[in-house]
Amino acid sequence: MPLPSEFSALEPFLAWELATEPERYAKRLASSMDEMQAFYDTAFPLLEDAITYCDKFPLDDLSDEARTLMHLMQSLVMVSFPVEVWKQPRVPDSGAAYLDVIVEPVV
């Protein structure tokens, strides 16, 4: 799972490099708020640069580095609401409700 050198700060968080939404959701539920906060604090400032980097490639022909970076940014989106709003991994007051994503943009 290589990363572009300008994003080396994300290397400690490669466990968040997950290709599918169900994997990212399961990781979120299995992570502590401290773990998500540390990932968020490192990844969020790199978000715009990461998008700019990934936009250099066609979605169906991403380099390995761009794909790794894209998956990390997708995981950042997955942890943003728990970190910014809910202060917990699960959606508040959602009970047993859930949604399944059946199509990913790129795996």
Nearest to 101, CA basis, from 16, 17, 15, 25: 25
Confidence of residue 24 (pLDDT cuts 50, 70, 90): very high
- Res 99: pLDDT: 58
State the Cα–Cα distance between residues 15 and 11, nearest whole angstrom. Answer: 9
Its pTM stands at: 0.83
- Res 85: pLDDT: 78
**Domain segments of the chain: what residues?**
5-86
Take residue 9 and report the two structure tokens written for it: 């700060």
Take residue 25 and report the two structure tokens written for it: 């959701």
Lowest mean pLDDT among 26-30, 60-64, 77-81, 90-94: 90-94
